Structure 1
Amino acid sequence: MKNRIYKIAIVLFSLFTFLGCSSDFLELEPTGKLASEEYLTTEKEAFDALIGLYDRMQVNNNNQEDWSSVFLTRVLLSDDSNAGGGSATDQQKFQEIDDYTQRADNAAVQNVWKGYYKAINMANNIIDNVPPELASAETIIAEAKFVRAYNYFELVTLFGSIPLRLENPKTEADNHVAKSSVEAIYAQIELDLTAAVASLPLKSAYSAAYKFRASKGTAQALLGKAQLFQKKYAEAATNFAAVISSEEYDLEDNYGEIYDGVAKAGKEVVFEILYSSESGNNWDTWDGTGESNYMTQLMGIRGDHSFNNLDVALGKEYINGWGMNVPTREIGELLEASAANGDVRGPASVISGTDFSAAGGYINSPEAAAIYTGDNKDYEGPGTFNWGDYEGYLRLKYTCDTLETGKPAFETNWQFPVKVIRYADVLLMAAEAYLESSQADKALTEINKVRVRAGLSNLSSVSLQNIKDERRLELAFEGHRFFDCVRWGDTSELGPKFTAGKNELLPIPQIEIDLNNELSQADQNPGY
């Protein structure tokens, strides 16, 4: 598969200009430049621009500018994951996010902000410039509106009040935009998604090669989620009901296959960001902008003699990664306890260090080194790991299974997708919306669908706590937990390092405040 650079000569805002992105995992190559006023006048040019927009979301969740990643940032904000890595200073920007000590100059926070606005910039360009007379214009513009709404939803939940940019700047003065209220951001999200719902096709209308694209159900699910976050429960329930009744989606039969190639673009996928194991990357071509999911390697179970004999202990051919995104003891124990009741999600998500060792794995920790007295020829001293973040469990979700990568270098060709919206997530959000709008019978129906797939018995009644518990088990390590705790007012569960009144939001990047004349230090989020 070829990688080509795709550039747009449009200023995003004072600091950030549009950067390149690679071709899509499906060998769709958006080539050329968007500097010409004549661009976006043909079907091919419009489609290439759209594929570039999906590519941008690949990069945002991947190795974006020195290992910054939207996905890992979202996960580490929760109480399900510790940063891990090679030491307590490995990827310092993520260590700070994990410990809630991030500042306004944190590189990962800055790149998350930048990546979202780059995607918005691209979406604006498509919305404003694709000629309506093109046969594909309605669908392509609707997809761009979905993507714009998705990126604004991510921004508003991470940063709160932010600049609302619906047109790309034409003059230098246009780069300077004041913050809009949270209410105004949500209003625009709903406008974009309502338009997208009206114009997007069903998922089944896309051919197999294009099921990565946003569909009507994708827009309905995100619209329902945005309404749920605003406590518009009846409206949210209506949109979730439309997704469910469409019969376009279903739960995968095997929970353990959700994250591998078996279920790529499968029936449980409402929206996901796909990657390829066929890029042919090696250590010389590994730059973070290709189609492979490099974050898999960063998050894999740590090597450097820390955790050994993975294939023996886990029963598959695994390779070691670099140890970021380590389960907390709390989520490990919750998943393990649920597994004792027959829940298949536990063994698909984590393994305890005790079970790992009993199955033939070897944990080469400082404690192991201190008591080592034998003559094991493989012993090379304690593993190089952030042992303070290891709390007795190893993560199996998104772990380096070699079936999910390719040659010439396994470490550089991972295909694991980022699951943005799964059908199980929709069912649980629907259960919550139904319960909060006095439709407990419907809430019970939807939560039990998720429980039965997990191997658990049906509930006879449902409470909000049941839904909270189910979401934590079902969606562990997928980037939802922190945002659920914030919207529920359950931030005390996020641990003693979390500061209420501050850590609900990330800081506005200081460089944005410095360069945007419509912002001042008074616009910074509280506590930063």
Structure 2
Amino acid sequence: MAGCHDILEETTRERFEPGFFKTEEGVVGGLTALYANLRRVYGQPYYYNATETGTDEYTYGAQADGNFQAADLSGLGIPDAQTSRFDVLWNASYAAINSSSGIIANATEAEMPAALIAEARFFRAFGYFQLVQAFGGVPLDLGGGILEFNTAPTLVSSRNTVPEVYSLAIFPDLVQAVADLEDNPRVNGGVTKNVARLILAKAYLTYGWWLENPNNIPTYPEASRTDPDGHDAQWYFQAAYDVATNAIDNPGPYMLQETFYDVNLAQNDRNSEIMLWADHTEYSAKYSESNVTGWDGGDAQNQAVWMVTWYFHTIKASADPATWSPVDAMFRTVQAGQSYSRMWSRMAPPIGVFTNTFADKTNDSRFNGTFTTAYRATWHYNPGRAENTLYGANFMPVGPNDRILSFLPSDPGGIDYSNTTFNSGTEAGYLPGRQDYVVPLTKISRADYPGLWKLGVYRQGSDYNDDKVASSRPYNILKFSELYFIAAEAAVKGANGSRTARDLINVIRSRAGKWRFDVAENQEKLEDYSAEMTNATPVTIDINYILDERSREYFGEGYRWYDLARTQKWEEYAGTYQISPKAGQDPVTVEREIEPYLYLRPVPVGQLDRMDGDEAYKTNYQNPGYRGGE
């Protein structure tokens, strides 16, 4: 980024003591640990599941275990204190919050540079903001006092209310961070004034919704929907708009990429649109915190995309042009590009994703730049395979990198799913005159569905061919584009300014109409449909349109549950979904039971087990709905 020349050097330490935070080396070391801690949340597969499964973006897949089935809320269980994978967020956040408090207290006493301390303020506020959205009111006193660094274990805890968390922790820290942070990052990927503005604007927006509470969603600990500072919801919507538009007008080193494709292209990682990421590298297991040459199962690995990748490696073709002699047409490799990540099939998109959210597949490049809909033969990446040609459906020849399976925009009719002659090894069928097997997007199943290209694994080096390795790409957390969405949503909620919600959304939609590359066709495509995209935008934007656009922009990135919870639209958007029992069969409608208490996630059982106190004390600590006997 502009103005940034230093690279983040990581030194692992088992613990930090107060005196260490009174030196600049200690402050920098503590901040480095805060950046590293992001890896334990973002890209972590079970937290990813918790933010996506059960929304309109994902249901459980064919290989889902109980964690994913329960998260779907469709009759196969309900997340509770033992099984809810929001425990990942709880456990990682409090370690970071306490370290942040240690840096703030001791570095302030030692008169360290304000900009360094402001980075810690950002991380403390960011941690609390994520927690309060998921759990409601959470503890501000970790044993040493309100927002104080705690150095001794404590077995007691008290939860603050939602207004207290915002007014005492989130807003003051972020306002101070905005004031003290520099425009340009201290290190590559470091937080800046505008990173703090993004979270401050989003916190204002979220708290405004909480105060308004349009669908009477319960909170805990119980608290009046009034603001300690005397502001109403409209004040916070206006504040969100003002902060977000100020950040847009003063971008610093950040800007939108020219095309949506460029935002998520692996070769363009850490681009100027990405404001914060959980970093990984393929060149060092130490700095990636995962094995870069194979499986190791650590808790800091980026494995999110595995969860949404189906078992495409089972696709077969024939070695003989006249008699079906099945061999593997696909080799599992990370060298073939972003489309071929390791597959676990834990999560699958419902059909509505393709018929509703991404209905426009012609003008809007975001469908093409989000999913893998064309699977191309990769057997030649296997050093043990020497065939130049295989034979697919209709015994038609298939060469390396040719299509072997495609997801069609609609059902043309006449697809043969019998697999009696051309057995694809999947649920897909075939059509006369095509060498590739086909599945209509209107009839996908939990086993056969488009993969998530945007998060796909990629290796820059050419010395490794094992798909078991976790993704060495950074996991994107915050994007400059979200400032436009925050301001637009605030405008829909009544905020006033020179830009309307339509103006702001059309910046994003205009960019979405610009094509540079066609992922499905694997070739350059220089087309500009920005006028068609902006002309199709409604004159009056409502919150549902904002949510639809957010899903098109951030599909599968871990935003969705937070978006639906903030706006209290979870039941409306995800109460039912459709999916086919088997690819090609007529879809069935599945109902979910999204009770109001589920808007708050359960406090993890590990937290309750570590606390002293009788059962009544622990019961009252837990969110209602997750208590034994309720």
Bucket of the pairwise TM-score, normalised by the shorter protein: 0.7 to 0.9
Q: How does 1:157-196 map to 2 (within 5 A)?
A: 157-165=133-141, 166-172=147-153, 174-187=154-167, 188-196=169-177
Equivalent position to 1:499, from 594, 602, 605: 594
SS in 2 for 1:185: helix
Q: What is the aligned partner in structure 2 of residue 300 from structure 1? A: 309
- C-alpha contact (below 8 Å) 1:96/1:102 kept by paired residues: yes
Q: How does 1:262-301 map to 2 (within 5 A)?
A: 262-279=267-284, 281-282=291-292, 286-288=296-298, 293-301=302-310
Deviates further, 483-492 or 278-287: 278-287
- C-alpha contact (below 8 Å) 1:491/1:498 kept by paired residues: no
Q: 1:37 to 1:512 in 2, by over 3 A?
A: closer
Deviates further, 264-273 or 401-410: 401-410
Equivalent position to 1:463, from 541, 544, 553: 541
Q: 1:244 to 1:37 in 2, by over 3 A?
A: closer
Deviation at 1:273, TM superposition (A): 2.1
Deviation at 1:94, TM superposition (A): 2.9
Q: Percent identity?
A: 22
Q: 1:469 to 1:369 in 2, by over 3 A?
A: closer
- C-alpha contact (below 8 Å) 2:57/2:349 kept by paired residues: yes
- C-alpha contact (below 8 Å) 1:444/1:462 kept by paired residues: yes
For residues 195 and 399 of structure 1, the distance between their equivalents in structure 2, rounded to whole angstroms, comes to: 37
- C-alpha contact (below 8 Å) 1:201/1:215 kept by paired residues: yes
Q: How does 1:415-454 map to 2 (within 5 A)?
A: 415-439=472-496, 441-454=499-512
Deviation at 1:355, TM superposition (A): 11
For residues 315 and 407 of structure 1, the distance between their equivalents in structure 2, rounded to whole angstroms, comes to: 8
Aligned length: 480
Q: How does 1:349-364 map to 2 (within 5 A)?
A: 349-351=370-372, 360-362=403-405
Q: What is the aligned partner in structure 1 of residue 264 from structure 2? A: 259
**2:193 is the counterpart of 1:216:** yes
Q: 1:250 to 1:44 in 2, by over 3 A?
A: same
Q: How does 1:407-422 map to 2 (within 5 A)?
A: 407=464, 409-412=466-469, 414-422=471-479
Deviation at 1:126, TM superposition (A): 1.6
Deviation at 1:72, TM superposition (A): 3.5
- C-alpha contact (below 8 Å) 1:259/1:416 kept by paired residues: no
Equivalent position to 1:348, from 369, 385, 398: 369
Once the two structures are superposed, residues 206-265 of structure 1 have per-residue CA deviations (whole angstroms, 9 ceiling, x without a partner) of 36xx23111100111101101101222111111101110103232111211212344433
Q: What is the aligned partner in structure 1 of residue 185 from structure 2? A: 206
Deviation at 1:369, TM superposition (A): 12
For residues 35 and 466 of structure 1, the distance between their equivalents in structure 2, rounded to whole angstroms, comes to: 47
**Structure 2 counterpart of 1:328, one-letter code:** P
**Structure 1 counterpart of 2:120, one-letter code:** A
Q: 1:382 to 1:26 in 2, by over 3 A?
A: farther
Q: What is the aligned partner in structure 2 of residue 21 from structure 1? A: none
Deviation at 1:442, TM superposition (A): 2.8
Deviation at 1:44, TM superposition (A): 2.0
**2:81 is the counterpart of 1:109:** no
Once the two structures are superposed, residues 364-423 of structure 1 have per-residue CA deviations (whole angstroms, 9 ceiling, x without a partner) of 9xxx998222376xx66879xxx9634744332212345599737453252333222212
**Structure 2 counterpart of 1:461, one-letter code:** V
- C-alpha contact (below 8 Å) 2:81/2:603 kept by paired residues: yes
For residues 406 and 360 of structure 2, the distance between their equivalents in structure 1, rounded to whole angstroms, comes to: 25
**Structure 2 counterpart of 1:240, one-letter code:** A
Q: What is the aligned partner in structure 1 of residue 321 from structure 2? A: none
SS in 2 for 1:439: coil
Deviates further, 413-422 or 471-480: 413-422
- C-alpha contact (below 8 Å) 1:260/1:404 kept by paired residues: no
- C-alpha contact (below 8 Å) 1:293/1:413 kept by paired residues: yes
For residues 134 and 388 of structure 1, the distance between their equivalents in structure 2, rounded to whole angstroms, comes to: 59
Once the two structures are superposed, residues 17-58 of structure 1 have per-residue CA deviations (whole angstroms, 9 ceiling, x without a partner) of xxxxxxxx9561224454555423432222112111110111
For residues 489 and 107 of structure 1, the distance between their equivalents in structure 2, rounded to whole angstroms, comes to: 20
**2:362 is the counterpart of 1:324:** no
Q: 1:523 to 1:438 in 2, by over 3 A?
A: same
Q: How does 1:28-43 map to 2 (within 5 A)?
A: 28-34=9-15, 36=17, 38-43=19-24
SS in 2 for 1:130: helix
Q: 1:401 to 1:451 in 2, by over 3 A?
A: same
* Structure 2 unpaired stretches of 5+: 1-5, 142-146, 209-235, 286-290, 317-327, 378-391, 394-401, 408-414, 429-443, 514-532, 576-590
* Structure 1 unpaired stretches of 5+: 1-24
Q: What is the aligned partner in structure 2 of residue 526 from structure 1? A: 624
Could you say which structure has the larger radius of gyration?
Answer: 2
For residues 8 and 276 of structure 2, the distance between their equivalents in structure 1, rounded to whole angstroms, comes to: 19
Q: 1:355 to 1:320 in 2, by over 3 A?
A: closer
- C-alpha contact (below 8 Å) 2:108/2:117 kept by paired residues: no
- C-alpha contact (below 8 Å) 2:308/2:452 kept by paired residues: no
SS in 1 for 2:20: coil
Q: 1:382 to 1:211 in 2, by over 3 A?
A: same
Q: 1:375 to 1:413 in 2, by over 3 A?
A: closer
Q: What is the aligned partner in structure 1 of residue 67 from structure 2? A: 93
**2:240 is the counterpart of 1:236:** yes
